Amino acid sequence: MKRSVLWLSIIALVASLDVVTASAAVKAGGSCTKVKATTISNGYKFTCIKSGKKLVWSKGVKVVEKVVVTPTPSASPTPSASPTPSATPSASATPSATQVVLPEPRTQCPKIGMKITGSTGYVRCMWAGHANNTEQALKNLLWSYFPLVKLSTSQSNNYEKTPMENESCRQSGDTFDIAGGKLECRWINGNKLQWIKVNTVKKLFTNAKSPVSIDVCKLKNSDSKADRTGRNAGAGVVGFPLAEPGKYRLPEMYVKGVNEVLIVPVDFSDIPGGDGVLTQLEYDKKWLTDWYDYFSNGQSKFKVTTINRWFRMEKSSSFYPTDSKTINANGDDSNMRQGIQAQAFIDEITKEVDLRKFSTIYLFYPDGTYSMGDLIVRSHLFKIKEGETHLNFFSWGRNLEGMETLKWSYYIHETLHDFNIIGHAPGNGWPLGMMTNQSGISYAINPYEQFLFDWLPAEQIYCDDAATLKPVTISLSPVEREDSQTKIAMIKLSPTKIIVVESHGVDKWSSLKFGDREFPPGFYSVMAYLVDLDKAVAPPGRADSSSSENDEWAWAVWQKVAGGPSNRFNKFVGDGKDLANYVAVLGDSFLIEGIKITFVGTGDYETVKIEKVG
């Protein structure tokens, strides 16, 4: 395929920019909304003051913290029957009760994930952007500051009177236990906070029946006027039909069927592997197969073989260059050059394993390895001891390590590209799905891509045509929740355009909290994006494979809430956009090309009213 094979690095930069800008979101003189409101950013406390007719943030005052250094989780999770992986503590400094200043934000730190907590906030060692070599990678380990958020619960209730459903509350994410569930403090229209009832066992709703055939919502590639030359020729598709990849390229891959893959843990004499490799392999195998089983509705099966020990390469790591992806990544020969470097690993692995039955090789290194770059090789003809065979080859690298990426999510992301979809939209780098950011918060696939794969059952799809649309009320289950409820509502606007409405929330596939990544307290949402087949082109990117930071190129683009946000889910995403502007809460609405989508109900699930206006 001629399309770029390196877009993981786009995600690396965008996700890391999110972390850096989050700690620098408030500046002296910047606008604020409430007099005397305070916030802490980058280790400074700011107060909202009146300056003339405007409300602005005051000059910051440095925060002096009472510091406690706590153990931090390593990047190697432990398998668990629960959806949240546990973690192994790593070495940390001796706890101290001395009054000291926390490390300055954006100064270098020793180890990703290390955390130092003070009385009102903490600093965490984070990844600060794309790196092309070891020196850059180590310089990218920087402290970021975050304020501590103290939520009220039934056990630490901060309210003077007993909370009641639909009454006002003070802080998003506060909870209070009630019979059968809890009350959760949530943002609603008008920047108000209200107690919403959420049941422990979620109530079910009757899935809305589409008034037209779901085939109406299958936009046809033949109607698209997108440029499909050059890099775009092999970029994948976002319309129908989605050609079965095994029918036009090798190795054969099956959107529906069984795919044989191999995971190989590789170490070197100068980078020896440690304990826990079997635990890592079991963990990745479990989550990879569980993911495909649920999101494909049991139609895509992965048979995973593992080499159950560190596979020692014959020479030291310097004899195995992995820098081809950073050199003219957009060139026509990029895949071939990366394949040549990957061949050195295949030369060793083939001595032990017959590779002919596999479509894909996934390879990773010991934790903390920043000297190796990732290689993303597709449909390359490799030499093996039995002769030759086509393989996909995806190896770990410094940017994945720095972003604290889950290995199984990286494997899934790259293999979904082999299923012939473009991905990386809506919101390239936004932490809302497997194909936009496998180092994000939500690990779900967006339901439009499920629809493309024919993985989503018809009863979980609502489809209508704008030309004949009548007012309708539809309930949606968050895409991160495992159930059989409606996941997507689509309104076709034209042969090449369609509105997609979906819900995102805190549930199984957004509760892993790996790398301390999670939705803001009290997060729930309805979100909408516009799919446009005339923009079905390859994602932009630089020659070193880093992001060109452009959300608007995409075949799908998130839509803003009409009238501005009613929430404070402020999180910088993509090319510097604020997530809050795109998240609808109860009472909010979207207005998209004459279609109004109003958020009318929340609790166990979200309900919207869709109608034509104007």
| Sole residue written with tokens 């990844």 | 127
Instruction: Note the pLDDT of residue 540.
Output: 66
Enter the tokens of residue 347: 């030369």
Instruction: Note the pLDDT of residue 336.
Output: 96
**Taking 70 as the threshold, does the pLDDT of residue 341 lie above it?**
yes
**Taking 70 as the threshold, does the pLDDT of residue 24 lie above it?**
no
Instruction: Note the pLDDT of residue 42.
Output: 65
More confident residue, 136 or 55: 136
Q: Which of 27-41, 261-275, 509-523 has the lowest mean pLDDT?
A: 27-41
Instruction: Note the pLDDT of residue 490.
Output: 98
> Region 510-520: what's the mean pLDDT?
95
Instruction: Note the pLDDT of residue 597.
Output: 98
The predicted-structure confidence for 373-407, as pLDDT tens digits, reads as follows: 999 999 999 999 999 999 999 999 999 999 999 99
Instruction: Note the pLDDT of residue 78.
Output: 43
Where residue 548 falls among pLDDT bands split at 50, 70, 90?
low
Residue 467 burial class via C-beta count within 10 angstroms: exposed 0-12, middle 13-18, buried 19 and up: exposed
Q: Render 84-137 in DSSP notation, one character per residue.
A: S-EEEEE--PPP--SEEPPPPTTSB-SSTT-EEE-SSEEEEEEE-S--SSHHHH
E strands of 385-496, at which residues?
387-395, 461-465, 472-476, 488-494
Q: Which of 348-352, 418-422, 470-474, 498-502 has the lowest mean pLDDT?
A: 418-422
Where residue 43 falls among pLDDT bands split at 50, 70, 90?
low
Residues 6 or more apart whose CB falls under 8 angstroms from that of 491 comprise 464, 465, 466, 469, 498, 499, 501, 595, 610
* Percent above pLDDT 70 for the chain: 85
- Positive or negative torsion for Cα 227, 233, 236, 237: positive
Residues 6 or more apart whose CB falls under 8 angstroms from that of 221 comprise 237, 239, 240, 241, 533, 536
Pairing of strands 115-117, 387-395: unpaired
Half-sphere exposure of 611 (CA within 13 A, CB side): 11
Domain boundaries, the chain: 16-147, 151-200, 214-219+424-612, 243-415
**Taking 80 as the threshold, does the pLDDT of residue 25 lie above it?**
no
Fold of 243-415: Collagenase (Catalytic Domain) (3.40.390)
| Three-class DSSP category at 276 | coil
Cα→Cα distances 306→211, 287, 549, 568, Å: 48, 14, 36, 44
Instruction: Note the pLDDT of residue 237.
Output: 87
| Three-class DSSP category at 142 | strand
The predicted-structure confidence for 61-73, as pLDDT tens digits, reads as follows: 766 544 445 444 4
Q: Are 484 and 204 spatial neighbours (Cβ–Cβ below 8 Å)?
A: no
Q: Are 341 and 317 spatial neighbours (Cβ–Cβ below 8 Å)?
A: no
Chain-wide mean pLDDT for the chain?
88
Instruction: Note the pLDDT of residue 543.
Output: 63
Consecutive H or E run containing 453: helix 447-453
Instruction: Note the pLDDT of residue 467.
Output: 97
Residues 6 or more apart whose CB falls under 8 angstroms from that of 155 comprise none
pTM: 0.85
The predicted-structure confidence for 212-267, as pLDDT tens digits, reads as follows: 999 999 999 999 998 877 766 666 889 999 876 666 689 999 999 999 999 999 99
Where residue 606 falls among pLDDT bands split at 50, 70, 90?
very high
Where residue 13 falls among pLDDT bands split at 50, 70, 90?
very low
Instruction: Note the pLDDT of residue 549.
Output: 57
Where residue 9 falls among pLDDT bands split at 50, 70, 90?
very low
The predicted-structure confidence for 89-147, as pLDDT tens digits, reads as follows: 333 344 444 555 899 999 999 999 999 999 899 999 999 999 999 999 999 999 999 99
The predicted-structure confidence for 566-591, as pLDDT tens digits, reads as follows: 999 999 898 889 999 999 999 999 99
CA distance 550 to 543: 15
- Which candidate, 19, 14, 84, places its Cα nearest to that of 480? 84
CA distance 487 to 498: 16
More confident residue, 357 or 230: 357
Q: Are 414 and 394 spatial neighbours (Cβ–Cβ below 8 Å)?
A: yes
**Taking 90 as the threshold, does the pLDDT of residue 447 lie above it?**
yes
Alpha-carbon Rg for the chain, nearest whole angstrom, is: 24
